[in-house]
Structure 1
Amino acid sequence: MKFKFLKIVLTTYRYAVMLSVGALSISGTASATLIDSIAALNDGDQYRVLFVTSTTRDATSKDINVYNSFVYDAAQAGTVTGGLGLTWTALASTDAVDAIANTGMLNNTDAVTLFNTIGDIIAMSGHEIWGGSLDAPIAHDENGVANNTLVFTGTTSHGRIDIFNSLGGKYKISNIGYSPSITNDWIGWARAYQTLTLNYYGVSDQATHVAVQVPSPSTVILLSLGLAGLSYSRYRKQS
């Protein structure tokens, strides 16, 4: 019986340590991460995540769904973006649809925090990103790796179709952005032939933060010690 009780206590203690380490891994990671930045939002706050694809393709298609699928595949494969459970679209414009309509990221002052994949705040509303300067560059890919590169957009700084330079447009050149820029150059830096292969911006759907209370390690240990005490009480009664 003594050995049985010792096994119960050791098992309970080991469980307490595992829970404590788990709590620390959630609450004690580096602050400059996307997960921590999202967790710092208030309950009910709205947010989106933006990234630059690590992969490239041309801009010859007139079908926005081609670019959406390309961005979605990159996001699903990403070590940062793949586990977020979000839907992804291209921040891009063709002759038929502009970037605002495609992403649903409206040009208004409604509060929505826009993050890059290392947790920096890019902007605090659609109005800020469409026409204003960014607070931080998008400039990181689906794995959280810096990616200072040229990006096909086909889009003006206000999120509308660049009618002469849309993706797949008849003039065979498209608007491109420069990902490390925080000025309007992030989306409309220059123009490039559509046959080139460049990167793209991906945007998540708008999500709502739900606060989750994580117990502190000390609370978990106290709870586990209580379980150990209960086990000892049962052991005494059985013996």
Structure 2
Amino acid sequence: MKIKQLCFVSGVALATLGTSAAQAALVVVPTGLNPGDQYRLVFVTSGTRNATSSNINDYNTFVTNQVTGSALATQLTTAGFNLGTITWKAIGSTPTVAARDNTGTNSLSTGVPIYLIDGNRVANNNADFWDGSLKHPINLQPNDVTTGVDFVWTGSSSNGTGYDSFQLGGLYSEYVIAGRADSVVFSGWIAETTDVYSTAKSLYAMSSVLTVLGNQPPAPVTVPESSSLLGFITLGGLMLGGAVRKARK
């Protein structure tokens, strides 16, 4: 009877292992980079705001505040970065400032690789970032939540300049261009639709240039959730039970 009960419990453990999802941490030092290599990070904000201001600093302050106290901030600190030396800029254009200039990614300069905060590469350099498509959507928030079909204020065209008449702040009308956080091609990520600028939406954010330090720990590995750990423990019990039965024969 005890052996049957053990088999039953172990079966439950295997089911748990089969259905339990893995929990992965944010990745702020992408794999494959060496000490001295430079790169940038991007994310989409969890918070939302309107697009009525024509002052780009209002949006820069907004995205910066999204990092404060977040899981991203914790991960950056753990990796050895000084948060006070990292600046965050909105990937957005007002009537007087273009997104590529606000973020320091004008394609006239080569720039550095750009990564999502989970380690996925978004673009190889400045020109690649502003060529109309991305290698991976900017769909992860600083609290480690992946967005779906969320529209994001940008006021920008795919080449990083202001979208005629639809920049942040509404130069000629109350409408501003927005992108889609789940999109990577046909400029949809940055210029998908327009909406009234009083509507609340997220924004994209980009870091200043980061440098891999020599003493930074390796990127975190995927670890099982607590339910999976319980499954492993129970499975270990099954293996032990099998060994006991063999010993009794």
Structures share fold, TM-score greater than 0.5: yes
- Aligned equivalents of 1:163, 1:114: Cα separation in 2: 26
* 8 A Cα contact 2:114 2:122, kept in partner: yes
Partner of 2:72: 80
- Aligned equivalents of 1:81, 1:124: Cα separation in 2: 24
Aligned to 1:141, the other structure's residue is in SS state coil
Aligned to 1:122, the other structure's residue is in SS state strand
Q: Which runs of 4+ in 1 moved over 6 A?
A: none
Partner of 2:236: none
- Aligned equivalents of 1:57, 1:104: Cα separation in 2: 23
* 8 A Cα contact 1:117 1:143, kept in partner: no
Aligned to 1:176, the other structure's residue is in SS state strand
Structure 1, gaps ≥5 residues long: 1-29, 216-239
Partner of 1:117: 117
CA deviation string 1:171-225 (max 9, x = no partner): 111110001111110000111110100000011001122232769xxxxxxxxxx
Partner of 2:55: 63
Larger Rg: 1
Question: Compared with structure 1, are the counterparts of its residues 42 and 109 closer, same or farther at alpha carbon in structure 2 (3 Å cutoff)?
Answer: farther
Question: Compared with structure 1, are the counterparts of its residues 82 and 166 closer, same or farther at alpha carbon in structure 2 (3 Å cutoff)?
Answer: farther
Q: What amino acid does structure 1 have at the position aligned with 2:174?
A: K
Q: What amino acid does structure 2 have at the position aligned with 1:50?
A: V
Q: What amino acid does structure 2 have at the position aligned with 1:55?
A: G
**Which of 174, 178, 181 is 2:180 aligned to?**
178
**Percent of aligned pairs with the same amino acid:** 34
Question: Compared with structure 1, are the counterparts of its residues 44 and 139 closer, same or farther at alpha carbon in structure 2 (3 Å cutoff)?
Answer: same
Aligned to 1:68, the other structure's residue is in SS state helix
Shift of 1:71: 0.5
The 5 Å alignment of 1:202-213 reads: 202-212=205-215
Question: Compared with structure 1, are the counterparts of its residues 81 and 159 closer, same or farther at alpha carbon in structure 2 (3 Å cutoff)?
Answer: farther
- Aligned equivalents of 2:68, 2:117: Cα separation in 1: 13
Is 1:34 the counterpart of 2:27 in the alignment?
Answer: yes
- Aligned equivalents of 1:214, 1:154: Cα separation in 2: 38
Question: TM-score when scaled to structure 1?
Answer: 0.72
- Aligned equivalents of 2:117, 2:127: Cα separation in 1: 21
Aligned to 1:127, the other structure's residue is in SS state helix
RMSD, aligned CA: 2.1
Shift of 1:127: 0.7
Question: TM-score when scaled to structure 2?
Answer: 0.69
Deviates more, 1:79-88 or 1:112-121: 79-88
Question: Compared with structure 1, are the counterparts of its residues 164 and 82 closer, same or farther at alpha carbon in structure 2 (3 Å cutoff)?
Answer: farther
Q: How many residues align?
A: 185
Structure 2, gaps ≥5 residues long: 1-22, 77-82, 219-249
CA deviation string 1:62-87 (max 9, x = no partner): 11111111100002232114553221
Q: Decide which structure has greater helix share.
A: 1
Q: What amino acid does structure 2 have at the position aligned with 1:34?
A: V
Shift of 1:111: 5.2
